[in-house]
Each structure stands twice: as C-alpha cells, then as structure tokens.
Structure 1
Amino acid sequence: MSARHPRACPPSPRGQRGVALIVALLVVALAVILLAGLLDRGELALARTRNVLRGEQAQAYAEGLEAYAAQVLLRTRSEGGRIDHNASVWNTPLPAQPVPGGLISARLRDLNGCFNLNNLAPDRPDLAAWQRVFRRLLSVRGADPAIADAVTAWLGSQAGNDEGYYLAQPVPYRPARRAFAHASELRLVRGVAGEVQARLAPYVCAVPAGSRINVNTAGVPVLMALAETITQGVAERAWNGGQARWNDVAAFGDFLRGTGVALDPPTQRLLGVESSYFLARGQIVLDEVPFAFTSLIERRDGVGIRVLARSRGADEAWDTPGTPPAPETVRPR
C-alpha cells in the first residue's frame, strides 16, 4: 500500500499581491529616505553658500565703512586743525543707511581719551608718571592700585616673581611679556577678573606706547586720575557733559588751578588736545543677520591713515566714556 504525500499548494494570487505590495512600500520608503537626505544636504549646502556670500558682502561693506572713516579723520584734521574734541565731525555717528540686502551704520571712538595700558611698559622713561595715573584710576574705579605693578610686570621682557602665580592657576599660563594687542587681555593679569575688568573696560585701551591722554575726550574717571585732588565735581566741570574744548593743555591747567588743583610737570607731559588713535565700529545687517566689525586706525601727520588691527564681533570696550564712577568708588568732593 503506497503512502500518500500532500500536494504543495501554489501561492494564492492574493498572497502574491500582498508580498508585492510590501516590497513596493519598502522601495518607496527607501526612496523617500534617500530623497529626504539629498534635500537636507542640498539645504545645508545652500545655507553654507548663503552664509559665505553674506559674510563676504558684509566684509566688503566693512571695508567701505573703514575707508569712509579714514576720509572723515583726514577731513577733520585739515578743517579743524590739531585739536580734537567730542564735537568734531569724526564723533558724529553715521546713521543706518540702506544698502542692497540690508542696513549699515558706523561710528568712531577716540582712543586717546582712555588710558593706554601699553604706556606701563617697564622701559618707558615716563613710567613713574603713568603708574601714578593708573593707580588713581584703579582707585576711582574701586580696584586694587597694586594692579598697576602687575601690569608693568606683565609687559616686562624678563621673567619675574609673578611667573609662579600664573603657572599655579587652574589653567596655567605665562605672562605675555609683550605689549597688549587688545585691552581685553587685561583680564589675564593678576588681580583683574570679572567685575574689575568690567569697571575698567570703558576707560582703558591698548594702542602703541607713547600716546597721550586727550583732555577734551577723556572721561570723568580718567580726568580724576590725573591728580589726587581732582574730585568728581571738578572732573565733571572739566568734562562739561562731554563737550570740553580746551585749546591746549595750558588752558586745562589754568582751569584746574582755579579750582585749587595743580598738575605736576610729569603729569602735564602726558596730556594733549589732539588724537592719533581711533576705533572704528561698523554695524551691518544683511537679511536680518547682524555683523559687527572694528578697526584700530592711526592718524599721523606725514603718514596719513593706517589701519593697525581689524576684528570681527562685539567689542567689550565699546562703551560710552565719561560716565561718572559709582558713588562708592568716588573720592570726596
């Protein structure tokens, strides 16, 4: 008697259609995933291209604003002589101007109106006078006057006793042993951090050593630092709401003598009424994306205009100088 074997049933048409449908769905899903990836990559590439083009356009506008600032500075010197003050043409901001794709604006700040940190270099013949002024500025702003010595040591070319302090920090580093490239480097100096840096930022700058303080554009704290006996009231009168227009240092000294203040000769030699260094700031908005550029500009007779440094982004030193110090940091009137 022979054994019976079950016959294999062919797949039903309905089952075949189900498998085909699943395969088709998988193919479609895979195609959608691949297409989405390609579109995403395309969007990223397009965004990168837009950003590059926008950045190049902003850079071109910034260079144009820089050239405009140079023309203004040269015209001011030719028309206004050798006296700079806050009513000079260069201190008039360029209001927002429409350009293809957005807006541009610009303004200049006089860096001879602040204290130049590089004048504290140990090889300066007038170091003692600059240190006295800076110690008083530190005191006016509620900071430790000993920071003046720390800055001089930082600028010294030879290693000193301060090396150990910096190497013992959580993130060790060494003093620069060179001139400050930017005033923000001050926060690295012993005794300067956080709040102290914020208090000093509007009144200090970093330009080539040898600059003088312009008494027409210096702020109230800087004027107070010129002598121990200059009170906030006297400094505010000299500042005149930012509209001081002394024709020379002698006239400024005469005013101080009328208030009972006498500047010593070494300090008088640190002062002037003209400016050589300016910070140009350009603000550009393209497609609602903001850009900020700053340029350190030197204006010299016989040399003309030179751009010493350029930077991109916000600058903490761009505050309005002349703001009276907080009451607790002010010496008695």
Structure 2
Amino acid sequence: MRRFRPMNRGVALINALIVVAALAAVSVALLARSDAARQRMALHLDADQAALYLDDATMLVARLIEDTSADAVHLGQPWAAPRSEVQIDRGTFGFRIADLQGRFNVNWMTRDDAMGEAARIALTALARSQGVPGAVAGRIQVALDPANQYRDSAFGGGGAISAPPPLPLASPAVLRLVSGGDGDRLDRLMPHLAALPPELGLNVNTASLPVLAALIPALSPPDLAELDETRRQQPFRHVSEFLEWVEQVMGEDAALALEALHLDVGSQWFEARLSARLDSVVLQRSAVLQRRADSRRSTVVMSMPEVD
C-alpha cells in the first residue's frame, strides 16, 4: 500500500488553506459590495424623501405669499422671516424668501420711457458700487440697451457667443456672458438683480439700499439711513406716501422728478431658497414664484436644484 509522504500532506494542506483564504476574500468582497449597494439604496431613498420635504416647503412658501396683502408688501410681514430647522417627519427644512420686485429689474432697460433711461444710468452706478470694474459696468449698460448698435460687441462681438441674447432677459445670470463678466466679478452684483417683465415697478418697501441709491442718486447716505428706518417702522401703504416723505426730506423738486419713475409698494414676484436635511442627505433648491393679481394664487414659475 502506497503512503503519502509528509511533504505531500503539507502541500495539500497549504493548497486547502489558500482556497479557503481565497473564498473568504471573495466573500468579504461580496459582502462589501452588498453593503455598499445597500448604502447607495438608502441614500437614494433618503434623497427622494428629502426632495418631498422641499416640495412641502415650497407649498408653505406659496401659502405665505398668498396670505400677504396684495396692496402693500414689506419686510415686516411673515413671508420675510427666514425659517430654519423646521421639523418634518424624520428630517428638517428651511427657507428664505426674497421679494424680486425689491431688486433692480434688468429688463427696465428695454423700456423707452423715463424709467428705462433712469435704469440704464442706474445699473452702471449699481454695478460699480458692487465692485464691478468700470469697463465691465459700461459693457453691461450697452448689453442691456436694445437701441445700442454695439450690443454684440459687449458680448465679445461673436468671439464668445454667436449673437447677443434677446431682450428682455430671462435671467440676470446672462450678464456673466458680457466680456469681462466671467469668474467672480459679478458675484456681489447678482443678489441685487432680477429679470422680470419690464412693466413692473420697484417696491420701495423692500428695495435694497444700493438699488435705491443707484436709481435715486439724489438720496444721500443719511437720507438712505432715514428712509430705511422710516419704512421699517411704518411701511409705505401707497407710493404717494413715499413721495410725501421724499418731499419732506429732499424737497418738492425731488419728489416731482421721482413721479416719472415706476415705483410701487406691492409685489407679485418672489424668490425662495430652500434646503432640506434627512440624516446625512442635504438638498437645496431655488424657486421663483408669481402671485397672480386676479386670483392671488401663487404658482412656481421656475425651480432648480442648487449646489454649494
């Protein structure tokens, strides 16, 4: 009878151990892949749920806007208070609403009346006040002037884009296409801009001080500070009340000059920046809402995700 030598038995044992180790490695790899797939599925489900939280937050924003007086919109109303860490189901959401009619509407530039003329001058002043280089600010003015024959040159004369974008603009972000407007040069300016129907007026109750200073250059820094305090304590209910304040502070001629501008105390267009958190998942979204003048119902005109 033939016997195995000890060396052969040792080799067989080593081979068996190698096979066991290989199987163990494969099992670990399969378990790791399975766990990774489970985690991906959990993240996907959490992201879907967080998106539903954003939908709920958007509905709350719409309700706040609908409940706001249609006659006078100001920063002392509930819509203007930011919300954070609002509990919902297993997560939280928050949002901040801005009145777009309190911003500089770049589409005023398409008007051929006193408001359009004032806006073309004011945007250059506003851009410079926010650190935009003078040359770029000048090109922005040209880019938004429909009667200017050099509009295409403001956008690089065909080197950057094939043709200047049509007016009125759909978004102020288009101004980043202006020659020299790339990078972070317009970052400080953008929060003061909106792209709305050109026939809308500026809400003097919610307009930022830089926008007011650019559009009404006769307002001195002390005047602006007094205006801000006045509207905070007693928001203007009618444009006539604002003009009365101007007359008292700056004189009758200044008030008469402002009558040519399209000013308002109401608003129909708002922007909401929303966020939702569920465990480690954080989603952000921006939405533009319009409140219909006839029904006062708010509708989402545009909604898009945001990334930090």
TM-score of the superposed pair, with normalisation by structure 1: 0.78
Give the Cα separation in 1 of the matches to 2:300 and 2:212: 28
Give the Cα separation in 2 of the matches to 1:182 and 1:36: 52
Q: Which residue of 2 aligns with 1:309?
A: 302
Give unmatched runs, 5+ long, in structure 1: 1-9, 316-333
Deviations 1:120-147 (A, max 9, x none): 34x6655323212212322333432414
* Correspondence 1:88 to 2:77: yes
Give unmatched runs, 5+ long, in structure 2: none
Q: CA deviation at 1:87?
A: 0.4
Q: Which residue of 2 aligns with 1:176?
A: 165
* Correspondence 1:255 to 2:245: yes
Q: Which residue of 2 aligns with 1:76?
A: 68
Q: Which residue of 1 aligns with 2:235?
A: 245
Give the Cα separation in 2 of the matches to 1:211 and 1:35: 67
Q: Which residue of 1 aligns with 2:225?
A: 236
Give the Cα separation in 2 of the matches to 1:166 and 1:253: 45
If asked which structure has higher relative contact order (CA below 8 Å, sep 6+), I would say 2
Match for 1:61: what amino acid? Answer: Y
- 8 Å contact 1:65–1:106 — kept in the other structure? yes
* Secondary structure in 2 matching 1:251: helix
- 8 Å contact 1:155–1:176 — kept in the other structure? no
Match for 2:10: what amino acid? Answer: G
Q: Which residue of 2 aligns with 1:272?
A: 264
- 8 Å contact 1:54–1:286 — kept in the other structure? yes
* Secondary structure in 2 matching 1:283: strand
Q: CA deviation at 1:295?
A: 1.1
Tell me: CA distance 1:208–1:61, structure 2 relative to 1, closer, same or farther (3 Å). farther
Give the Cα separation in 1 of the matches to 2:98 and 2:178: 25
- 8 Å contact 2:140–2:154 — kept in the other structure? no
Give the Cα separation in 1 of the matches to 2:49 and 2:230: 38
- 8 Å contact 1:102–1:288 — kept in the other structure? no
Q: Which residue of 2 aligns with 1:66?
A: 58
Percent identity of equivalent pairs: 26
* Correspondence 1:15 to 2:7: yes
* Correspondence 1:296 to 2:285: no
Give the Cα separation in 2 of the matches to 1:109 and 1:25: 68
- 8 Å contact 2:106–2:172 — kept in the other structure? yes
Tell me: CA distance 1:313–1:241, structure 2 relative to 1, closer, same or farther (3 Å). farther
Number of aligned residues: 298
Give the Cα separation in 2 of the matches to 1:11 and 1:119: 101
Tell me: CA distance 1:39–1:296, structure 2 relative to 1, closer, same or farther (3 Å). same
- 8 Å contact 2:71–2:237 — kept in the other structure? no
Give the Cα separation in 1 of the matches to 2:146 and 2:5: 88
Tell me: CA distance 1:163–1:281, structure 2 relative to 1, closer, same or farther (3 Å). closer
Give the Cα separation in 2 of the matches to 1:19 and 1:286: 55
Tell me: CA distance 1:64–1:156, structure 2 relative to 1, closer, same or farther (3 Å). farther
* Secondary structure in 2 matching 1:280: strand
Q: CA deviation at 1:307?
A: 0.7
Q: Which residue of 1 aligns with 2:211?
A: 222
Tell me: CA distance 1:294–1:86, structure 2 relative to 1, closer, same or farther (3 Å). same
Tell me: CA distance 1:188–1:162, structure 2 relative to 1, closer, same or farther (3 Å). closer
How do 1:17-32 residues align onto structure 2 when only pairs under 5 Å count? Answer: 17-32=9-24
- Counterpart pick for 1:186 among 155, 158, 175: 175
